[in-house]
C-alpha cells in the first residue's frame, strides 16, 4: 500500500529535532526507511525563519525529485513580503506548487478574512488546499467566512480534540484533518464510522514526530482496506487533482 505524506519538512532549525532531514536526500532516506512513497513537503525556514527564502529553497530541494512535492507558506500581502493573490497564483503555476501552508503563530499574523480575504477567496474558488497549523477554534471562525475553503488542520493534538473538531466536521464539508497527531486509540476507527474515510489525510508531522508512529496507526487501524488506502494516499491525490490553478 502506498503512503503519501501530506505534512513533513526538511531543513535544519536553530534547535534541531532529535531526528531530522537536513536536505531532500535525507528526507527520501527517512521515507524509504518507513515505507512512505511520496510527500507534500515544506522547508523548515518556511515555518521557523523566512517563508520568502524557504519557499525558494523548497523548490531547489525538490527539483528533479518526483517523490517530493513542494508547498509554499503564506504571509500577509499588506507588508509587501508576498505578492497579491493573482501574482501568487501565476508564480504557483510557474513552479508547480499546488498547495499552501499557514503558520500564524510562528509568523505573528491573523489567519482571517481581514488579513487574507482576497487570497482566501481565490483559494476557495480554485480549490487550492491550505494546510493550517492553527487551533480548531480559529479554523472554525475562518470557515464561517469561507465555508467552501479546502483546509487541512495539521498538528492537532496529541490529546483528543473531538469536542472542538466534530461540530466543525458536521457543518463544513471541506475541512480535513491530518493523522500526524490523530493517534489516540480508536479515533481513526470512530472517525471513519461517523464521517467516512474521505476527510482524513495521512501525515507524519516529521520531524516533530517520528514518521513511523503515524504510519503504524493508519496501517493497523481496524477499518476496511479501501478506507485505509483512501487515508494513506487517495484522498490527498484527489484533493490535488481538483486544484484549478
Q: How would you class 186 by CB atoms within 10 Å of its CB: exposed for 0-12, middle for 13-18, buried for 19 or more?
A: exposed
Interacting residues of 139 by C-beta distance below 8 A, sequence separation 6+: 132, 151, 153, 168, 175
Q: Are 88 and 82 in contact (CB under 8 A)?
A: yes
Helices assigned H by DSSP within 67-224: 85-95, 104-107, 113-126, 136-145, 162-171, 187-195, 211-219
Domains of the chain: 4-241 (3.20.20.140)
Q: Are 27 and 10 in contact (CB under 8 A)?
A: yes
Q: Which of 6, 2, 20 is nearest to 210 (CA)?
A: 20
183: Cα separation from own chain's centroid = 17
pLDDT of residue 15: 78
Question: Distances from the Cα of 64 to the Cαs of 67, 70, 85, 99, 101, in angstroms?
Answer: 9, 11, 27, 18, 22
- Bridging pattern class, strands 38-43 and 4-10: parallel
Task: Beginning with the edge strand found earlier in the chain, give each strand of the sheet holding 68-70 in spatial order.
Answer: 4-10, 38-43, 68-70
216: Cα separation from own chain's centroid = 19
**Tens-of-pLDDT digits for all 245 residues of the chain?**
899 999 999 999 887 788 899 999 999 999 999 999 999 999 999 999 999 999 999 999 999 999 999 999 999 999 999 999 999 999 999 999 999 999 999 999 999 999 999 999 999 999 999 999 999 999 999 999 999 999 999 999 777 789 999 999 999 999 999 999 888 888 999 999 999 999 999 999 999 998 998 999 999 999 999 999 999 999 999 999 999 98
pLDDT of residue 18: 80
- Bridging pattern class, strands 68-70 and 175-178: unpaired
Amino acid at each position: 500500500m502506498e503512503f503519501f505524506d501530506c505534512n513533513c519538512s526538511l531543513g535544519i532549525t536553530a534547535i534541531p529535532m532529535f531526528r531530522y532531514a537536513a536536505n531532500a536526500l535525507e528526507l527520501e532516506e527517512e521515507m524509504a526507511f518507513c515505507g512512505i512513497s511520496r510527500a507534500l513537503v515544506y522547508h523548515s525556514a518556511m515555518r521557523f525563519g523566512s517563508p520568502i527564502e524557504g519557499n525558494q529553497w523548497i523548490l531547489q530541494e525538490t527539483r528533479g525529485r518526483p517523490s517530493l512535492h513542494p508547498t509554499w507558506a503564506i504571509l500577509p500581502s499588506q507588508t509587501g513580503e508576498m505578492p497579491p493573490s493573482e501574482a501568487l497564483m501565476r508564480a504557483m503555476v510557474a513552479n508547480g506548487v499546488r498547495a499552501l501552508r499557514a503558520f500564524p503563530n510562528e509568523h505573528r499574523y491573523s489567519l482571517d478574512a481581514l488579513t487574507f480575504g482576497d487570497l482566501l477567496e481565490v483559494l476557495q474558488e480554485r480549490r487550492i488546499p491550505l494546510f493550517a497549523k492553527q487551533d480548531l477554534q480559529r479554523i472554525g471562525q475562518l470557515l464561517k467566512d469561507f465555508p467552501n475553503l479546502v483546509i487541512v488542520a495539521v498538528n492537532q493534538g496529541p490529546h483528543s480534540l473531538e469536542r472542538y473538531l466534530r461540530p466543525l466536521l458536521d457543518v463544513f464539508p471541506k475541512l480535513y484533518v491530518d493523522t500526524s497527531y490523530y493517534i489516540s486509540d480508536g479515533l481513526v476507527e470512530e472517525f471513519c464510522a461517523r464521517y467516512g474515510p474521505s476527510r482524513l489525510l495521512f501525515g507524519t508531522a516529521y520531524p516533530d514526530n517520528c514518521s513511523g508512529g503515524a504510519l503504524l496507526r493508519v496501517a493497523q487501524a481496524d477499518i476496511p482496506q479501501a478506507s485505509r488506502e483512501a487515508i494513506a494516499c487517495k484522498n490527498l491525490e484527489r484533493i490535488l487533482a481538483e486544484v484549478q490553478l
